Amino acid sequence: MTAAVLSAAPGRGRRVPQPRVPTLEGLLPTAGSMAVAAVLLAAGALPVLDLELTLAGLLSAVAAGVLARAVPSSSRAARIVAPLAAVAGTALVHAGTGALVTLFLLMPPVVALASGAARAGVLAGVLGSVVATLAPAALSGTPVPGATVLLVPAVAGLTGLVVADLGARARSRAEELDVASRMLSARAQTMTSVIDAVTEQSIIGTDPDGTVRVWNPGAEKMLGVPRAAVVRARSIVDFHVPEELDAAAAEFGTADRLAALVHVAQQNGSDVRDWTYVAADGQQRTVAVAITPRTDDDGAHAGWNFVGTDMTEARATERMKDQFVSLISHELRTPLSSILGYLELVLDDEEGTLSDEQRQFLGTVERNAHRLQRLVGDLLFTAQVEAGRFTLQPGDVDLIGIVRAAEETARVTAAAGGVTLVLDVPEDELVVPGDAVRLGQACDNLVSNAVKFTPSGGTVTLSLRAGWRLPDGTVSDGEVLGAEPVARLAVRDTGVGIPAGEQAELFTRFFRASTARRNAVPGVGLGLTITKAITTAHGGTLDVVSAEGQGTTFTLTLPR
């Protein structure tokens, strides 16, 4: 398996520290201080009352040093026995010389005891220092001042406590560091295994300059290039179509291809769109790429992540579907021309040869032919939207007129279904920039939908208001400085409602809510798709709030 995640940069505390013998726990200070004492003795700077005791003391210290070197540093012998031997050596030297100054030789072994055996070591050090202080009185009958007997063990004990505490803290930090290092290592391992497990999506990580640093098995499969040939050697732009990047660079006003690729992600924090990848065999793949910036531990920009899903087949299928819909719709228009044209000729019965019943039947034919015509128009329109060929005829649109017209259109159907239509519009004009025909179509769709989904006895309310959209997306009825002026049309019904779980799919082509199917409400599921597309093309939003069995409110918000 390919290791997708690169090893961490050196340093940064990710390496587990190697154990070593701490200076305090070793007997180097003891050996050093004993050597100094030996020199002072040889030079006559220290008195020698009993040569045998003095030599025995120095030899004990040497033996302690040898022992400490010979056994493992963590062993009881190294941590306790050797320092105690050094304390014993100090006691003998003290007894042999009778010099109080030799009690300074206690400090290194006392520190070593406290460092190596914590509180027990401190106690041993105190007891040892008592013994060493009293040694001249015990071994050679030389009196020791009482203050010395109290002071030396007290200083030794306090020193030992400080050292033991420092040692405990140091050990605790070392343990924390060890745990943190293990956790980091485990996390990196988890990330590696997760990224390596992704074989159907490409995950590519780069440096800020676009040099590839992460290349997962999905990227290998999609682009046909092994990780080893890419990491640190190739740039992400090498796998894009240059012309596509150049076009994006021209659009965003930059000369740099990488800057063009990450432009939107840099502006918005993330970006998902189709790009064309070029595989090793030259084949082009349409890939939906999610681009996000990556930061390091300090929050500084560290590069880019590109997570890609191969959409080549899906997009080809969508194109085929759109072409099919377009073709069928186109072909349906010609027979519809004949049906509607000849119907018009027959119904234009100047001589009055048609009976009322015949006229009624032909009226039914005409109504259904128009229904078919609307359906063909909707199909063609959605195909244009999907293909990105939908254009607006811009102008100034008075929304009050649009809403009144929609109410008028729906009035007959509403009355027939026992639904009350309520119109609530401002008295002044409310003008937005846009395409009057398309906005009329959007409004008609919302109102006719509301009427269709409201049972007899219900109400559909059309409210039109001026408002101001705040940066957080909420709309205020009162003017707010700096907020975007908008127009808001709310179409509220008391109908069957839309189940909460289906609301996210409402604007998908051909989607029909279960309440629509259950209540046999006619339709093919294109109206809301079209309304949403028109709203989006005008820079607006279309929101829905619905409760099953209580009703639905669609709110169309347009910039003005």
Partner 1 sequence: MLVADDEDDIRALVGVAVRRAGCVLAASVADGESALASARAELPDLAVLDVSMPGRTGLEVCAALREDPATAGIRVLLLSAGASPDDVARGLAAGADAYLPKPFAVADLVGGIRALSTGQPA
Chain residues binding partner 1 by CB under 8 A are 330-331, 333-334, 336-342, 344-345, 348, 373, 377, 380, 384, 389, 391, 393
Q: How far apart are CA 532 and CA 527, in angstroms?
A: 9
**Least distance to partner 1, CB of residue 204, Å:** 38
Q: How far apart are CA 87 and CA 30, in angstroms?
A: 9
**Least distance to partner 1, CB of residue 377, Å:** 8
Q: Which is nearer to partner 1, 372 or 423 (CB)?
A: 372
**Least distance to partner 1, CB of residue 381, Å:** 9
User: Which pairing describes strands 301-310 and 284-295: parallel, antiparallel, or unpaired?
Assistant: antiparallel
- Main-chain dihedrals φ then ψ at residue 354, nearest 5 degrees: -85, 140
**Least distance to partner 1, CB of residue 2, Å:** 49
Q: How far apart are CA 326 and CA 37, in angstroms?
A: 104
**Least distance to partner 1, CB of residue 509, Å:** 18
Q: Which is nearer to partner 1, 68 or 439 (CB)?
A: 439
Q: Which is nearer to partner 1, 345 or 481 (CB)?
A: 345
Q: Which is nearer to partner 1, 9 or 345 (CB)?
A: 345
- Residue corresponding to tokens 């030794």: 156
Q: How far apart are the first and last CA of the chain?
A: 57
Q: Which is nearer to partner 1, 353 or 393 (CB)?
A: 393
DSSP result, 448-478: HHHHHTS-TT-EEEEEEEEEEE-TTS-EESS
Q: Which is nearer to partner 1, 438 or 560 (CB)?
A: 438
Q: Which is nearer to partner 1, 171 or 374 (CB)?
A: 374
Q: Is the dihedral of CA 516, 521, 526, 528 positive or negative?
A: negative
**Least distance to partner 1, CB of residue 362, Å:** 14
Which segments of 348-481 does DSSP mark as H helices, in order?
Answer: 356-386, 399-416, 436-452
Interaxial angle between packed helices 82-97 and 107-135, expressed in degrees from 0 to 180 and rounded to the nearest 10: 40
DSSP result, 268-293: HS-EEEEEEEE-TTS-EEEEEEEEEE
**Least distance to partner 1, CB of residue 530, Å:** 14
Interaxial angle between packed helices 356-386 and 312-347, expressed in degrees from 0 to 180 and rounded to the nearest 10: 160
**Least distance to partner 1, CB of residue 438, Å:** 11
Q: Is the dihedral of CA 324, 328, 331, 333 positive or negative?
A: negative
**Least distance to partner 1, CB of residue 363, Å:** 16
Q: What angle do CA 383, 387, 391 make, to 5 degrees?
A: 85
Q: Which is nearer to partner 1, 183 or 327 (CB)?
A: 327
**Least distance to partner 1, CB of residue 238, Å:** 37
Q: Which is nearer to partner 1, 21 or 392 (CB)?
A: 392
Q: How far apart are CA 6 and CA 213, in angstroms?
A: 7
Q: How far apart are CA 111 and CA 133, in angstroms?
A: 17
Q: Which is nearer to partner 1, 346 or 521 (CB)?
A: 346
Question: Do residues 236 and 306 make contact, with C-beta atoms less than 8 angstroms apart?
Answer: yes
Q: Which is nearer to partner 1, 336 or 423 (CB)?
A: 336
| DSSP code of residue 503 | G
Closest CA to 164 of 127, 107, 118, 111: 118
Question: Do residues 552 and 502 make contact, with C-beta atoms less than 8 angstroms apart?
Answer: no
**Least distance to partner 1, CB of residue 390, Å:** 9
